[in-house]
Structure 1
Amino acid sequence: MLAVFLLLVLCTGTTYSQYPRICTTPEALQSRTCCPVWKDGSVCGSKSHRGLCLPWVKPNSYISGYNDERLYWPIGYYDYTCECLGTYGGFDCGDCAYGYHGDDCQHRQKPLPRREIRDLSFVERKRFFSYLALAKITKSKDYVILYTGNRFHQNTYQFLDATIYDLASWIHYYSMKPVIENNTFDYSVNYAHQGPAFPGWHRLLLLFLEKQIQILSGDEDFRIPYYDWSKDKNCTICDDDFVGSSDPDGNVGKLSHFSSWKVICSGFNYEDAYCRVAAHPHQMETLLRKPGADPNSNNIPTEEDVKNTLKFTAFDTEPFTRKSKQSFRNALEGTT
């Protein structure tokens, strides 16, 4: 059950449990308070009944011995944070919860079906890739990322700027670093994979990126498309019209939308550091992609695999890890 707790603890809030820029000032960190003042002049928009600045209390199921700042978020950094009311959301309750919009966050967003990327028109596809490119070069106004020289020494922690797309990449990277237990690394669990949080965590991450791009572009109808690979024998969108071709060494095609992209946390992947390259952008590696080259995942799941996965009636089963049997979640991850 330990794995269940570790993997679910961040599932519902991890994309908001990053680092708001306004809460990484020396004053905020010293006071251990992340309750920004909203535009009505009150913390968390309390005068407008948007939210309250409340203390975080360690749960009854508190596990001693884990000195990992991501566990029981945000207790590693903050004792007080905004708790948003009703359909309000965001680190300062100045935003709306997913699915709502408007100044008072009382209007439901119109449902728009997600579309298969190959069903997009040429213009729609170009718009999608242009939005990604814009997110890749536009610095996030609201969030920063964490860089560390050594995870065990907070005096090496630094908060750095990142673009909107790199922020989303970093969130996933951050969740995958090994958990620290009694000053040693525990590789058996992480915060995004190999446990019950897997589907919901990744959905929240995509919703976060999608919303950031909606704000950036001013296009509230923007939706991230999906790729239905169930009827393909290989990656049919791995060409320069879509996500990019690649040579045997993994270099992305020069005519691809992604040919010049750099990867923010690639390389120097030391277990005791966070995203060391982020402090030295000139050291960032170019994007590499080798579809099918991983011997543990060298083919695309078939339509039959999808049908078999959907037959499982239990969302997850003990021990709630990659060893789970008859588990929909584990089958979805491809380990059953």
Structure 2
Amino acid sequence: MLLSLHWFWLVLVLYLTNPGEVEAQFPRPCTTPEARNNRTCCPLFNGSICGTSSGRGVCVKLPQMHPSRPVDHWVGWHRYFFNSACMCLGNYDGFDCGQCLPGFRGPQCEDPHVVERKEITDMTDSERETFLSSLHQAKQSHSSRYMILSSNDTTVEGNYEFHNSTVYDVYVWMHDYAAKTIPVQDIHSAHQGPAFVFWHRLFLLFIEREIRELTGNQDFYIPYWDWTRTDHCNICTNEYLGAVDRYGRIESASLFSNWMITCLFHRDASIICDPSNENDPKYLIRNPGRDTSYKTLPTTKDVEDTLAIPDYDTPPYDKTSNNSFRNTLEGYKSPDDPRHSKTSMHKLAHHYLLGTMTRKFTAANDPLSLVLHSFLDKIFEDWFKEHPNATYPDSDEVTPAQRAKAFMAPFFPLRTNDYFWGKPIQDLGYSYREHSLPHSGAGSRPARQGEETAQSPL
């Protein structure tokens, strides 16, 4: 069987790119003493390494590198642990080539599979209950596929431990890891740069697929939350993602009331998911609209202004970039109205919710982060359809971790930052259905849900 063009290119890039640009997470079979001693992450699938006997993949050598001192877990992660890993063929995917690429299913991964993501308030009662119960199951069920790493000081070589984790908390750990400041550079792997939308697209696909693996429901999907059609957190109810009491705790009537925070807040980049001090909150906290600096959600006009920006990203390709679609979507541009907020879009929505969602290190603990980022992904897709000739920035000004051919941390198998560029989301296994409620005018708020049902584009 011939190698897929993507994998042929990827192997070539592994040998040609700067070795400080690759990172990955920890498949459970690759955390054993034997795998670490042999420096090999080529697990068995159906009795053969990387599913070789069934034509799924092969075990390939990865380039060696000389470890730097002190050890830096954000640069060249896999090269500190592995010399070999699985390379999957055709439509096969996963750390052992035992899964299908997004957009395919079936025994030989030949059957196209596309799921439509709805706006969360458009889900039927049955769909909503399935979504919420699946999230809760993921929070309660240990992952059979991954472990998470913790360290109280990554500058000390060998100072780390692997831990069991729930399926949902693996997702939390990945966001915490990627949100850490890259030492010296003061830049994140997944934020404040051109990789922002692509990293979070892969992030959603990852947890979506892991929950499908857990539940057996191959049609499970992450809905989106269109926060432009409400003047409050209309899904902060026990019917959806949990109402809160006067102290910001999720009410006991909600499935999410006892969700504990993992990977608590640490500003120190040398700490990875290490237990925090006793004063940090242990459970989800939300206080929607209670911060006077961020008392409104982004509006329809905010979205329209963002979609009107023609350039995907602009120099210096960070949070100071002007006239940048990516930077405006991420929220580092102040709204052009009297709200006096210093942020907009993604960042404003996070800050409006005030609590666990406000800090990038803890935000993924709150399931609201899923539906919020699904909406951002939809907005990006709407922009991308109107700008088919746009390109990923090719500039030395882009931080090395977010350059086009660098690899998104901490995903395994490896994916470059520009891997999704030019790929229709239908080819990735999903699409978006427009919200059933129309907009009532740019910058204004619509009628409450149920008052109108006509369909309207974003």
* TM-score, structure 2 as length reference: 0.64
SS in 2 for 1:83: strand
Q: Residue 193 of structure 1 aligns with which residue?
A: 191
Identify the match of residue 36 of structure 1 among 43, 62, 65: 43
Identify the match of residue 27 of structure 1 among 31, 34, 46: 34
CA offsets 1:112-140 (integer angstroms, 9 cap, x no match) = 22111111122221121111111111000
**Does residue 1:210 correspond to 2:208, yes or no?**
yes
Deviation, 1:81, is 0.9
Q: Residue 128 of structure 2 aligns with which residue?
A: 125
Deviation, 1:314, is 1.5
Distance across 2 between alignment mates of 1:66 and 1:333: 32
**Does residue 1:312 correspond to 2:318, yes or no?**
no
The verdict on how the C-alpha distance between 1:160 and 1:268 changes in structure 2, with shifts beyond 3 A counting, is same
The verdict on how the C-alpha distance between 1:19 and 1:83 changes in structure 2, with shifts beyond 3 A counting, is same
Distance across 2 between alignment mates of 1:84 and 1:47: 12
Distance across 2 between alignment mates of 1:138 and 1:273: 25
The verdict on how the C-alpha distance between 1:326 and 1:79 changes in structure 2, with shifts beyond 3 A counting, is same
Identify the match of residue 95 of structure 1 among 92, 99, 102: 99
**Does residue 1:164 correspond to 2:167, yes or no?**
yes
The verdict on how the C-alpha distance between 1:286 and 1:125 changes in structure 2, with shifts beyond 3 A counting, is same
Deviation, 1:72, is 3.5
Q: Residue 86 of structure 1 aligns with which residue?
A: 90
Higher relative contact order (CA 8 A, sep 6+): 2
Letter aligned with residue 298 of structure 2: P
Letter aligned with residue 299 of structure 1: T
The verdict on how the C-alpha distance between 1:58 and 1:195 changes in structure 2, with shifts beyond 3 A counting, is farther
Deviation, 1:54, is 1.6
Deviation, 1:78, is 1.4
The verdict on how the C-alpha distance between 1:53 and 1:296 changes in structure 2, with shifts beyond 3 A counting, is farther
Distance across 2 between alignment mates of 1:69 and 1:270: 13
Deviation, 1:284, is 7.7
SS in 2 for 1:230: helix
Q: Is the 8 A contact 2:306 2:329 kept in 1?
A: yes
Letter aligned with residue 28 of structure 1: A
Unaligned runs of 5+ residues in structure 2 are 1-16, 334-458
Q: Residue 328 of structure 1 aligns with which residue?
A: 325
SS in 2 for 1:155: coil
Identify the match of residue 47 of structure 1 among 45, 48, 53: 53
Letter aligned with residue 91 of structure 1: F
CA offsets 1:58-93 (integer angstroms, 9 cap, x no match) = 79xx9x999532324422321211111111100011
Q: Residue 238 of structure 1 aligns with which residue?
A: 236
Q: Is the 8 A contact 1:147 1:273 kept in 2?
A: yes
The verdict on how the C-alpha distance between 1:143 and 1:121 changes in structure 2, with shifts beyond 3 A counting, is same
SS in 2 for 1:260: coil
Distance across 1 between alignment mates of 2:86 and 2:21: 18
Deviation, 1:272, is 2.5
Deviation, 1:226, is 0.9
Deviation, 1:30, is 2.0
Q: Residue 336 of structure 2 aligns with which residue?
A: none
Deviation, 1:320, is 0.9
Deviation, 1:180, is 2.5
Distance across 1 between alignment mates of 2:70 and 2:218: 41
Distance across 2 between alignment mates of 1:73 and 1:311: 38
Distance across 1 between alignment mates of 2:292 and 2:90: 47
The answer to which of 154-163 and 246-255 deviates more is 246-255
Letter aligned with residue 192 of structure 1: A
The answer to which of 294-303 and 116-125 deviates more is 294-303
* TM-score, structure 1 as length reference: 0.85
SS in 2 for 1:201: helix
The verdict on how the C-alpha distance between 1:297 and 1:197 changes in structure 2, with shifts beyond 3 A counting, is farther
Letter aligned with residue 48 of structure 1: S
Letter aligned with residue 247 of structure 2: D
Deviation, 1:149, is 2.3
The verdict on how the C-alpha distance between 1:157 and 1:332 changes in structure 2, with shifts beyond 3 A counting, is same
Q: Is the 8 A contact 2:71 2:157 kept in 1?
A: no
Q: Is the 8 A contact 2:50 2:57 kept in 1?
A: yes
Distance across 1 between alignment mates of 2:312 and 2:63: 29
The aligned length equals 314
Q: Is the 8 A contact 2:70 2:157 kept in 1?
A: no
Deviation, 1:100, is 0.8
Distance across 1 between alignment mates of 2:317 and 2:291: 25
SS in 2 for 1:113: strand
**Does residue 1:174 correspond to 2:177, yes or no?**
yes
Unaligned runs of 5+ residues in structure 1 are none
The verdict on how the C-alpha distance between 1:47 and 1:304 changes in structure 2, with shifts beyond 3 A counting, is same
Q: Is the 8 A contact 1:69 1:77 kept in 2?
A: no
Deviation, 1:316, is 1.1
Identify the match of residue 217 of structure 2 among 213, 216, 219: 219
**Does residue 1:139 correspond to 2:142, yes or no?**
yes
